[in-house]
């Protein structure tokens, strides 16, 4: 099983031992009508027009799908909102310097927030386990020195910020170290968030790469997450093909191919397996099962020659996103783009920097097209 897991994550055993925060996050993690614009012209004027004005005629779909980008900066919020993005996964500073500024910037643009605070030393999110009390340090009255508890208290002190929070970021690939973040501790985190810190279960929990691909994944199907990323990262540049679809039966990436439709079908089959797994388990005490958020690859990883080493074209971004939303929209919580800004030091390309593809088509147009087709009416 260990070998299979490493295939899933694209790492060798030696690579897994001393990853930086950015190197770990490199694996996180997640439309048709022309806008009539020149590929060389700005998609939207780079003004400070609020999203509520720019999209005044659009009403959110009743399904409340999220349209996500990962790792934007505050300065990106205005443009992202006008592109139809409604949710952002943002990394916050552990010293609290940008907590209020981030939320103050998100609220007027109606951007829901998935807040992440990363613990560089632990190589994981900021949450700390109390060995003596056998619980997570989430209550600031019990753990006044805990950064995680302080952040949750910050949200409770600011109801508008809590309301703007889409979900609490839990963990990234926690089952890589099951002795620290195994199934029982993951369930304890979910229980504490949904029953103790925020009683009533109204606050949701988000996580990455937990319910498939790991030896303990079967124990984490429910009662651990409300939302989980589902990565669609097939874009490669190799002599044998431009795609590497994920093989859900073997739990590894298949050999390169140029067959785009077969790749899309394989990626849909992988999503279907995740959905089947969710449905096979009893719901959590909140009454909920996880809902997937599809993340489309918009990065190039410089460390691999046969995986994740090509940015998709604007056409490919549109076709892959459309396929998931056309065929599985009613079974998704949403769709996102990973990543918008550079999320790992070894990334060579990302959506913000690499706006235009090789044909000079504007990749930034794609989220807007997808949003107008699937997320608004």
Question: What token pair was written down for 31?
Answer: 């439309």
The CATH number of residue 236's host domain is 3.20.20
> Exposed, middle or buried: residue 160 (CB in 10 Å: 0-12, 13-18, 19+)?
exposed
At 143 the three-state DSSP class reads coil
pLDDT grade, residue 103 (50/70/90)?
very high
Q: What is the residue range of 36's domain?
A: 2-375
CA–CA separation, 106 and 190 (whole Å):
25
CA–CA separation, 143 and 72 (whole Å):
31
CB 142 within 8 A of CB 180: no
Question: What token pair was written down for 86?
Answer: 């409604």
Q: Find all residues with CB under 8 Å of 223, minimum gap 6, and list them.
A: 187, 190, 191, 284, 285
Question: What is the pTM for the complete model shown?
Answer: 0.84
> Is residue 341 pLDDT above 70, yes or no?
yes
pLDDT grade, residue 120 (50/70/90)?
confident
Comparing 358 with 42, the larger pLDDT belongs to: 358
Q: End-to-end distance of the chain based on CA atoms, in angstroms?
A: 45
Question: What token pair was written down for 75?
Answer: 């300065």
User: In the prediction, which pLDDT does 255 show?
Assistant: 97
Q: What is the DSSP letter of 257?
A: B
> Is residue 344 pLDDT above 60, yes or no?
yes
> Is residue 29 pLDDT above 60, yes or no?
no
Q: Find all residues with CB under 8 Å of 258, minimum gap 6, and list them.
A: 241, 242, 243
Using alpha carbons only, give the angle 4, 125, 272 rounded to the nearest 5 degrees: 40
Average pLDDT along the chain: 86
User: Facing residues of 243 across strands?
Assistant: 235, 257
Domain tally for the chain? Answer: 1
């Amino acid at each position: 099983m260990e070998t299979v897991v490493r295939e899933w994550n694209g790492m060798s055993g030696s690579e897994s031992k001393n990853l930086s925060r950015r190197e770990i996050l490199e694996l996180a993690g997640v439309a048709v009508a022309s806008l009539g614009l020149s590929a060389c012209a700005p998609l939207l004027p780079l003004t400070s027009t609020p999203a509520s004005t720019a999209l005044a005629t659009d009403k959110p779909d009743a399904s409340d799908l999220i349209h996500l980008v990962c790792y934007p900066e505050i300065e990106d919020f205005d443009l992202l909102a006008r592109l139809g993005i409604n949710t952002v996964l943002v990394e916050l500073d552990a010293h609290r310097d940008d907590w209020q500024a981030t939320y103050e910037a998100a609220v007027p643009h109606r951007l829901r927030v998935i807040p992440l605070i990363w613990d560089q030393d632990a190589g994981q999110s900021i949450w700390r386990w109390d060995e003596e009390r056998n619980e997570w340090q989430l209550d600031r009255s019990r753990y006044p020195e805990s950064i995680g508890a302080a952040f949750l208290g910050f949200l409770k002190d600011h109801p508008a910020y809590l309301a703007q929070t889409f979900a609490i970021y839990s963990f990234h690939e926690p089952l890589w170290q099951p002795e620290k973040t195994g199934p029982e501790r993951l369930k304890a985190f979910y229980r504490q968030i949904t029953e103790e810190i925020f009683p009533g279960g109204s606050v949701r929990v988000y996580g990455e790469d937990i319910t498939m691909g790991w030896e303990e994944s079967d124990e984490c199907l429910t009662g651990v997450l409300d939302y989980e990323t589902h990565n669609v990262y097939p874009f490669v540049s190799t002599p044998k093909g431009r795609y590497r679809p994920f093989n859900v039966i073997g739990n590894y990436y298949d050999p390169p191919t140029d067959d785009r439709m077969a790749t899309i079908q394989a990626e849909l089959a992988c999503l279907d397996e995740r959905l089947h797994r969710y449905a096979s388990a009893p719901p959590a005490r909140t009454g909920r099962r996880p809902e997937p958020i599809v993340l489309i690859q918009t990065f190039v990883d410089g460390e691999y020659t046969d995986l994740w080493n090509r940015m998709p074209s604007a056409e490919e971004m549109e076709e892959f996103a459309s396929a998931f939303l056309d065929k599985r929209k009613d079974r998704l919580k949403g769709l996102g783009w990973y990543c918008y800004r550079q999320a790992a030091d070894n990334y060579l390309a990302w959506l913000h920097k690499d706006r235009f593809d090789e044909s000079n088509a504007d990749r930034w147009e794609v989220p807007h097209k997808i949003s107008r087709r699937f997320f608004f009416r």
